[in-house]
Structure 1
Amino acid sequence: MCSHYQAVKERERYIRHFGVEPPADPGNLDVWPSYATSFIRRPKEADVGDEAVPEREALSGVFGLIPHWATDTKIGRQTFNARSETMAVKPSFRDAWKHAQHCIIPVEAIFEPDWRSGKAIATRVSSVNGDPLGIAGLWSAWKSPKGLLHSFTMLTINADGHALMCQFHKPVDEKRMVVILPPDSYDHWLRAKPQDSLDFMRPYPSDRLMAGTELPVQQTLLD
């Protein structure tokens, strides 16, 4: 699971990697559940064949999905991650999954607890090559008394066999990791139909990630 991450700060870096302008108000850069920040989706108008409509748009949203039927925003404190194995049936996520409301969450790094010392030590996980990471997610829109509020969740998969991500969380807990998308699959994910969505639920190669320092995975947690 991931409840804490670092958003992409630099505007030009955001545009260069994700191919879209960030929102005018990028929101929080140090992100926790219920914090506002940015996410990327495919505009609904992109399906009508208008070449003037871009393939991607970046919006402001809250980390922690708030389903359309919610009565307030408190549910978002528990819906920041969605298990790929159950998201199609869980009430909080099933509508967004059914309608393929796919999004990408731009991050510089995520933070996970390393319990190997007997206590949780927050560990920064980022890409080896220094590029931002695009995490697969689902988005929703909720009609609040003040207007439409967008929100999103990160999708997760089992990480028991992952060389890096199996190191995190308590020894008795199932190992989980967020779904990190290869950059060349960004548009494929945003366009994917519901029946094809599970094809993207794959672990990101451990040798493309590093934890704690600027050293490769094999020289940090695994030494």
Structure 2
Amino acid sequence: MCANFKPITLAQLKSLNLPEITFEYPDEVYPNYDLPLLFASVQGLEWRKVGFGMVPKWAEDKSIALKTYNARNETLFQKPTFLNSISKCKFGVIPVSEFYESKYIENKPQRWGVRRKDGQAFYIAALYEICKQGDEIIRSSSMITMDAIDHEMMKDFHEPGDVKRSVIIIPHDRLQEWLTWRSPDISSFIHGFPVEEFECTHVPKIKIEKISPQLNFFD
């Protein structure tokens, strides 16, 4: 299940003729980090800074996002966390440069990155929510996932014997259709992405050595 990814870059944003993003966001996103979510309003396409991981109105705090960053399409109406969003058709996309999954080689997990071969960003289907905790307004989102047991690329990820899942990627030519979809029945969008347009490679996580404050003083 996707828990780490790189959001859209400035160059990719311009290439797709998307609106300017007026807020900062990290180079890599993990659960409970902020990310740029694209959705449709009466003014057209708009960006919102949202947290990665759904925070429903009944949650006691934002830590629930560590468990709600992926939403299975098969159980959206069975999970209280996602029921309000799917019922009200709160659809958006998370534009991504690359996302990461674990592939087990000789029973050891390796981080692999999935990206488009042409270098363009791609759109991951998402639900979003807005709620209030005390005086704080919280905007959050979750990636919608699907079964991947038969997907040529995604079936090779996750621990052997574990359930195989994949994010749902909205094709570029269906972006507007998805963002303006007004039915909770999203079955027409649940398709595995075309393998021939994507590639995956081993992407080891970079280890950052800690430098003492004393050494930093001389930088």
The normalised TM-score by structure 2 is 0.88
Relative distance call for 1:195 and 1:80 in structure 2 (3 A) is closer
Paired residue secondary structure (1:115): strand
1:9 aligned residue: 9
Is the alpha carbon distance of 1:196 and 1:63 closer, same or farther for their aligned partners in structure 2, counting shifts above 3 Å? same
Q: What is the match of residue 34 of structure 1?
A: 32
What does residue range 120-159 of structure 1 map to in structure 2 within 5 Å?
A: 120-159=109-148
Q: How many residues align?
A: 202
User: In the alignment, is the contact (CA less than 8 A) between 2:88 and 2:184 conserved in 1?
Assistant: no
Tell me, in whole angstroms, the C-alpha distance in 1 between the residues paired with 2:72 and 2:190. 10
After the TM superposition, which of the residue ranges 30-39 and 12-21 deviates more from structure 2?
Answer: 12-21
Aligned-partner SS, 1:92: helix
Q: Which structure: larger Rg? A: 2
Match in the other structure for 2:174: 185
- CA distance in structure 2 between the partners assigned to 1:65 and 1:186 by the alignment: 22
CA distance 1:91–1:59, change in 2 (3 Å): same
CA distance in 1, matches of 2:16, 2:143: 19
Identity fraction in percent: 27
The residue identity in structure 1 corresponding to 2:20 is E
Query: Which runs of no fewer than 5 residues in structure 2 stay unpaired?
Result: 203-219
Give secondary structure in 2 for the equivalent of 1:31: coil
Q: Does 1:203 align with 2:192?
A: yes
Runs of 4+ in structure 1 displaced over 3 angstroms? none
Shift of 1:39: 0.5
Give CA-to-partner distance per residue, 1:110-167, whole Å, 9 cap, x none.
Answer: 0000013211000011011110011000000121335312110000001111111111
Q: Distance in 2 between matches of 1:194 and 1:69?
A: 24
One-letter amino acid of the structure 1 residue matched with residue 24 of structure 2: P
Shift of 1:15: 3.9
What is aligned with 2:74?
Answer: 85
Tell me, in whole angstroms, the C-alpha distance in 2 between the residues paired with 1:61 and 1:18.
21
- Structure 2 counterpart SS, 1:75: helix
Structure 1: gaps spanning 5 or more residues: 47-52, 214-223
TM normalised by structure 1 equals: 0.86
Alpha carbons 1:29, 1:37 under 8 Å: kept: no
Paired position in structure 1 for 2:47: 58
Q: Could you tell me how far 1:20 is from its partner in structure 2?
A: 2.1
Which of these residues, 100, 116, 123, is aligned with residue 111 of structure 1? 100
| Aligned-pair Cα RMSD in Å | 1.4
- After TM superposition, give the deviation of residue 7 of structure 1 in Å: 0.9
Shift of 1:195: 4.1
Query: Is 1:20 the equivalent of 2:19?
Result: yes
Once the two structures are TM-superposed, the CA of residue 18 in structure 1 deviates from its matched residue by: 5.9
